[in-house]
Structure 1
Amino acid sequence: MLVSSAIALLALCATTLAVQSIVVKGSDLVNAVTGNRFQLLGVAYQPGGSSGYNPGSGIDPLSDGTVCLRDAALMQRLGVNAIRVYNVDPDLNHDMCASIFNAVGIYMLIDVNSPLAGESLDRGAPWTTYTSSYLNRTFAVVEAFKSYENTLLFFAGNEVINDLASGGVVPPYMRAVIRDLKNYIAKHSKRSIPVSYSAADVRTILVDTWNYLQCTLTGSSTDPSRADLFALNSYSWCGASSFTTSSYDVLVSDFSSTSVPVFFSEYGCNKPSPRVFTEVPVIYGPLMTPVLSGGMVYEYSEEPDDYGLVQINSNGSAQLLVDYDTLQKQFNTLNVTYLQGLSAQNVSVTPPKCTSSLITTSGFSSNFTIPDVPAGAQTLIDNGISPAPSGKMVPVTASKVSQVVQQSNGDIMQNLAITILADDQSNNPNGASPTSSEASPSATKKKNGGETLKSSLSVLLGVASLAVVCTSFL
């Protein structure tokens, strides 16, 4: 009876204890509690694709707790620790979905833009869309997600610079958006949340884009117009490739002097099909982890472009695809202790000073004069937007998935559920065998890749102190 009560209390508290704060220090993502370097093992999560985003519908990928519970269970079993969500409606309630993903140790990387007119920069004429109204929308996304402990970062842009023409005009405006977001967060969030940019892997302009966004105008790493992280959507590893054939070696060389964390915001070429994900052991191995901080597989749900790991049906049922099984097997080969259990090394890196000599491609912007804040937007930054969306962590009391989910071989998964983590953990690969029809969620059973989680006795001993923590949040 006492053990049952303890477990119930742990489940109730999981929404505030499941993840630890991840911070940017130099060119590393760092677990603020342990001081260890943190590697992203994530998936892109946008069921319905960008075309499915419709603010008038009353739903977005993080608005339906029943759907999120199903997908969180499958992601936890897969072994991911982060999701990237591209299009969200800041006016919807995301409390349950955010709390569910937090409870299973999964962080959220949130884009502040959308494909709708007025909700992103026009890469051909960014000065026409860099307006107070546009910034109000980006700030609304910040307000909606800033209070969730598992919000790891915001993306200020996605492939806005995707060719030389856009490289000639967009960079100053991209830095302006980053500046405005960081200044808004500094004034209106109780904790610092970093801002990143997600770049197109166009090699002729990639290094210039990175240099433009990582350099400092002020001589300090605290320059608000400087990106806190730099990410790229890379699909250069296809099939049974290699470190050199894929040109991953070039990426490592290009970013070896980075002053900000670099990671793949998308990866996972789908040719040939089915995918083999042989890049996974390399991305998370000794050739790349000294420079890159992991990445996000594209993508969770099957869409018309055939990158999905899971087929989601209109009635809410789902079926794992062969790519899910293969990715899980690759994740399960990784050394989690090596990934998440090593002390951060690159925490004191001096950023380069912004100068035209950083830009090597003729036609790419070397103008580091950043546009002023649009008329009326400084008031938003100073006083906050109104009305402001709000979010809060809520108790996650349900764990069992109600929808029918099938294995890739057609067998129905039995007893599919999330495993609520209650010891300040993020999820890691430790999943059930994909050949089994029993759904044994891949909840992390070890802390920092080391000691086994507390026994029933230690659960009992920790109830009193945990109750105090619960009381302070609920």
Structure 2
Amino acid sequence: MFQSIQFAILSLFVATTFAVETVVINGSDFVNSVTGNRLQILGVAYQPGGSSGYDPASGVDPLSDGSVCLRDAALMQRLGVNAIRVYNVDPDLNHDMCASIFNAVGIYMLIDVNSPLAGQSIDRSAPWDSYDSSYLNRTFAVVEAFKSYPNTLLFFAGNEVVNDLPTGGTVPPYMRAVTRDLKHYIAKHSTRSIPVGYSAADVRDVLLDTWNYLQCTTTGDDTDPSRVDLFALNSYSWCGDSTYQTSTYDVLTADFSNTSVPVFFSEYGCNQPSPRVFTEVPVLYGPLMTPVLSGGLVYEFTQETSNYGLVNVNSNGSAELLVDYDTLQKQFNTLNVTMLQGEKAANTTVVAPTCASSLIVNQGFANNFTIPAVPSGAQDLIDNGISPAPVGKLVTVTSTKVTQQVQQSNGQVMTGLAITPLADDESNNPSGASPSSSSTTTSSAPAATTSKKGGAGNVKSNWSVLLGVVSLSVLYTSFI
């Protein structure tokens, strides 16, 4: 009798597609659209194979293989991250299973619309040559492929396209133009507003001018479509066991203290000296920085030639956790998640500065805010949509157990590694699990954000009562 009830309940659970809550921007904060709580990004950069590994002819990209995503999502859930940044995606591939797996474990996706291939990004040396309808068609295709996933948090219109003063003189108007075009396309063809922003190089000669140029408004309010919704920077100034002052994090925080859009680290995690100690984590998520910054993403999840990885992935799909994974997990576990993710948005009344040449301090940096017109043929794409348009949708995640062998950093093989699907009002957070503590390891149920249902703990306790106080996550993973 109990087995029949158990099967019926599990069948209902498997047939249900849980989802994270979509995130909106309120002033300079990311905000859960249902609870109103501010979201701090605890993320990792995710580009298996590295930037040079992107090859559309291969028929795969970082979000096209469900088995790979399941393995990595289980390890990320255990690590405690709630977001991934994915640089190179092929809009013509199917991403439903990977997006659904990351959604199930409460992990948001930050998607770059560009790629390293010719014609698929703005050429910083001659932006006027690369800004055309063919390029925009590709960026719109990425939007189409990911707009329907509720865990798509944002799109990056560019990454480090401005990286010195010469590029600062020519590129910024094109970044505003691409932002405008993406936002118009989303407004026309998406059922929800998805933020569009820029990821900057932390080059102090141009960083603040880039931020001011992209965040200002030409309309007097935040309705200017060419204005970025958010601004991020790739920062590696904290190296080793540094300090808030030595790393110049104090300068960054002060510089962005009056931001009108969310600011966060789109990459961080200097790898010299090695192994990394990640002592910046409690500072980045502490009282000195959280009033201004919205978290960040560690570079990077998989070990590539640049030696920033947390996990080494072998050609046969097996993986080994590196020491940096354990260290980062320990640092994440020191955070007060309830306080970090449970606060209401506070920076909601900030006003965007009006675009003016006085915002720009470096001579030679662009200070004219007239931006390029929409390229020939591109307005039709914006008005009517691209064709054929990729279609993405959440699908049922029917398998939760990782099939590939994964070793901990101490050499022990992890057994029972699996994802733990969360309720539809949770995002993933550090769980407090001890790294490399046992050869028998499962994904611990992460700490949850406050839910619209009165707290995720109440939801889970109801399941426990129904199942005779048996853990749903253990029961579910053993059933599959």
Question: TM tier, shorter chain?
Answer: over 0.9
* Cα offset, 1:440, TM superposition: 2.6
* Cα offset, 1:455, TM superposition: 4.5
* Cα offset, 1:184, TM superposition: 0.1
Mean CA deviation greater in 392-401 or 446-455? 446-455
Structure 2: how far apart are the matches of 1:461 and 1:217?
57
Aligned length, in residue pairs? 460
Q: Deviations over 1:300-346 (max 9, x none)?
A: 00000000000000000000000000000000000001111011111
Partner of 1:12: 15
Larger RCO, structures 1/2 (Cα 8 Å, 6+ apart): 1
* Cα offset, 1:201, TM superposition: 0.1
Structure 2: how far apart are the matches of 1:433 and 1:114?
37
Structure 1: how far apart are the matches of 2:153 and 2:137?
21
Partner of 2:78: 77
Partner of 2:120: 119
Kindly indicate whether the alpha-carbon contact (under 8 Å) linking 1:3 and 1:456 is maintained by their aligned counterparts in 2.
Answer: no
Pair 1:393–1:459, CA change in 2 (3 A)? farther
Structure 2: how far apart are the matches of 1:111 and 1:28?
20
* Cα offset, 1:420, TM superposition: 0.6
Q: Deviations over 1:222-274 (max 9, x none)?
A: 11000000000000000000000000000000000000000000000000000
Partner of 2:370: 369
Partner of 2:415: 414
Kindly indicate whether the alpha-carbon contact (under 8 Å) linking 2:133 and 2:378 is maintained by their aligned counterparts in 1.
Answer: yes
Partner of 2:442: 440
TM-score by length of 1: 0.95
SS for the counterpart of 2:206 is helix
SS for the counterpart of 1:231 is strand
Partner of 2:477: none
Correspondent of 1:454 among 456, 459, 473: 459
The question of 1:402 aligning with 2:400 is answered: no
Pair 1:4–1:292, CA change in 2 (3 A)? farther
Kindly indicate whether the alpha-carbon contact (under 8 Å) linking 1:20 and 1:425 is maintained by their aligned counterparts in 2.
Answer: yes
Partner of 2:295: 294
Mean CA deviation greater in 350-359 or 415-424? 415-424
Q: In the alignment, residue 190 of structure 1 is paired with which amino acid?
A: T
Kindly indicate whether the alpha-carbon contact (under 8 Å) linking 2:77 and 2:419 is maintained by their aligned counterparts in 1.
Answer: yes
SS for the counterpart of 2:205 is helix
Structure 1: how far apart are the matches of 2:152 and 2:336?
25
Residues 62-73 of structure 1 aligned to structure 2 (within 5 Å): 62-73=63-74
Q: Deviations over 1:115-160 (max 9, x none)?
A: 0000000101100000000000000000000011100000000000
Structure 2: how far apart are the matches of 1:229 and 1:438?
41
Kindly indicate whether the alpha-carbon contact (under 8 Å) linking 1:445 and 1:452 is maintained by their aligned counterparts in 2.
Answer: no
Unaligned 5+ runs, structure 1: 463-474
* Cα offset, 1:287, TM superposition: 0.3
Q: In the alignment, residue 229 of structure 2 is paired with which amino acid?
A: D
Structure 1: how far apart are the matches of 2:185 and 2:465?
43
Unaligned 5+ runs, structure 2: 468-480
Structure 2: how far apart are the matches of 1:377 and 1:460?
57
Pair 1:191–1:433, CA change in 2 (3 A)? same
Structure 1: how far apart are the matches of 2:460 and 2:329?
27
Structure 2: how far apart are the matches of 1:434 and 1:330?
11
Pair 1:324–1:392, CA change in 2 (3 A)? same
* Cα offset, 1:459, TM superposition: 6.8
Residues 160-239 of structure 1 aligned to structure 2 (within 5 Å): 160-239=161-240
SS for the counterpart of 2:267 is strand
Pair 1:308–1:130, CA change in 2 (3 A)? same
Partner of 1:262: 263
The question of 1:252 aligning with 2:257 is answered: no
Q: In the alignment, residue 276 of structure 1 is paired with which amino acid?
A: V
Partner of 1:467: none
Kindly indicate whether the alpha-carbon contact (under 8 Å) linking 1:259 and 1:349 is maintained by their aligned counterparts in 2.
Answer: yes
Structure 1: how far apart are the matches of 2:76 and 2:275?
19
SS for the counterpart of 1:153 is strand
TM-score by length of 2: 0.94
SS for the counterpart of 1:203 is coil
Structure 1: how far apart are the matches of 2:68 and 2:113?
22
Q: In the alignment, residue 373 of structure 1 is paired with which amino acid?
A: V
Partner of 2:472: none
Structure 2: how far apart are the matches of 1:269 and 1:248?
13
Structure 1: how far apart are the matches of 2:339 and 2:462?
29
* Cα offset, 1:349, TM superposition: 1.3
* Cα offset, 1:444, TM superposition: 2.0
Q: In the alignment, residue 440 of structure 1 is paired with which amino acid?
A: T
Kindly indicate whether the alpha-carbon contact (under 8 Å) linking 1:432 and 1:439 is maintained by their aligned counterparts in 2.
Answer: no
SS for the counterpart of 1:23 is strand
Structure 1: how far apart are the matches of 2:462 and 2:358?
62
SS for the counterpart of 1:399 is coil
Pair 1:420–1:455, CA change in 2 (3 A)? closer
